[in-house]
Chain A
């Protein structure tokens, strides 16, 4: 029954790719809202989140049926178990992008803190790229691409630390910006969390390809 099962696996892969594409777009769109101080894109971002939520339920349903009906083994079993986890990570990323939109709406009520908005797009671009790469590594079963994502997470963490330090320095100088600075700090924090979820997906990919659990540096 290889053939029919494989068709079902392709349906699962396509649903994951669709969900990932939406999550990536949400990250860059949310950061555009922050940097351009233009909230007009927020309704579309929220619509994307609803679609992501719908896909999360659909993908879990597909995985449940695949396990119950086909008793997958070995690599296929790892792929399906990993898909359930990846599904959760993609959904959380979409939530984090919504958090960024919420913070953007609060930032809009006061003048901008200029220097910071230059490093956030870089951070968002890296996070978004990590999501894309991790998902590609997952569906194409590429351990090499997955390992590249793991390395990028350190870069993202560094960027987050720099932004945090810069904001702390600004807050010490001018208490009047604390509310705005905290919101920006949380936005950077959300991007850093998105990177962690992409890292989870990359670790799932390595588990699928190699059967190795590299979480918590156990390799």
Chain B
């Protein structure tokens, strides 16, 4: 695993983050450093707050009315909860892939170009170039280059999920958040998405939430173990899985908890 490059400046920094859903505190004084060009995995039992934390990284939780967030989340050095932050711009720079593939009920082409057209890009040649580049990066070009007008919802599940990745890549994000991106996929399709993530790491920074500890072990460089809204332990994945410092981490990764 590639934990040697931990010394680079963090792409995202979470400091002292508290999050409440109404009266319920879902995150407690959470700290997290997301390193550039690394895969960071958040693991922990259901309800531990890992998806909530992930959704704080591009303010997806803003969509829930009762949510209150305090603490700091920085993208590079800029506070994403600060008054100067344009949330649309933030979600373009920090994109998200969801648990179930959610392509729009449109063609492959329209899915990939959707964000570009919202951003006012309409020149066909430019769209063509971006569609090809995005589909190639998501390992879909060879399969789909002759069916760009086919409905996205007719694709197999793993291709739908990779199309969602391509749709994201089209708007050139810096950070990709993935919320259990393989939980709707079979092991073969899961392997393809995992390979894709490792490939994407060269150019993007990835944060993944996964229920599948083995997936975190296989693909991530850094792992954080969360429990009841606390970040119990965070460090290089190889260390977390061979010599964790906290007994609660040890119990979880060895299958004695959760």
Give the chain A neighbours of B241 by CB distance below 8 A.
65, 68-69
Contact B1 A70 (CB under 8 A): no
Q: Is the CB of B191 within 8 A of A2?
A: yes
User: Which one of A3, A64, A69, A70 has the greatest number of beta carbons of chain B within 10 Å?
Assistant: A69
Chain A residues in 8 Å Cβ range of B214: 70-71
Q: Give the number of residue pairs across the A-B interface with Cβ within 8 Å.
A: 33
Known contacts A1-B219, A69-B237, A71-B214, A64 near B194 by CB under 8 Å: no
Q: How many residues on chain A are close to B (CB under 8 Å)? A: 11
- Quick one: closest A residue to B214, CB to CB? A71
In angstroms, Cα B219 to Cα A2, docked, is 11
Closest to A71 in B: B214
Residue from the set A2, A65, A70, A71 with the largest chain B CB neighbour count within 10 Å: A65
Is the beta-carbon distance between A1 and B238 smaller than 8 angstroms?
no
Q: Is B217 an interface residue (CB 8 A)?
A: yes
Residues of chain B within 8 A of A217, CB atoms compared: none
A153 to chain B, nearest CB (A): 36
Contact across chains for A1 and B242 when beta carbons are under 8 A apart: no
Does chain A have a CB within 8 A of B117?
no
Residues in A31-63 with C-beta less than 8 Å from chain B:
none
Size category, B interface = 10 to 19
Contacting pair B195 A3 (CB below 8 A): yes
Q: Chain A 1-42, CB within 8 Å of chain B: the 1/0 string?
A: 111110000000000000000000000000000000000000
Q: Is B6 an interface residue (CB 8 A)?
A: no
Question: Is A70 in contact with B195, judged by CB distance below 8 angstroms?
Answer: no
**Measured between alpha carbons, how far is A3 from B198 in the docked complex, in Å?**
10
Are B217 and A69 within 8 A (Cβ)?
A: yes
Residues of B within 8 A of A2 (CB): 191
Chain B residues near A3: list those with CB within 8 A.
195
Partner of B194 from the list A1, A65, A68, A71 (CB cut-off 8 Å) is A1
Query: Is the pair B242, A5 in contact by a Cβ cutoff of 8 Å?
Result: no
Please list 22 pairs of residues, one from A and one from B, whose beta carbons are closer than 8 Å in the complex, sorted by A's number: A1-B194, A1-B218, A1-B219, A3-B195, A4-B195, A4-B198, A4-B218, A4-B219, A5-B218, A65-B238, A65-B241, A68-B238, A68-B241, A68-B242, A69-B217, A69-B237, A69-B238, A69-B241, A70-B217, A70-B218, A71-B214, A71-B217
Residues of A within 8 A of B (CB): 1-5, 64-65, 68-71
Q: Which 5 residue pairs are nearest across A and B when measured between Cβ atoms?
A: A69-B217, A68-B241, A1-B218, A68-B242, A65-B238
- Apart from A1-B194, A68-B242, list 10 A-B contacts with CB within 8 A: A2-B191, A4-B194, A5-B218, A65-B238, A65-B242, A68-B238, A69-B1, A69-B218, A69-B237, A70-B218
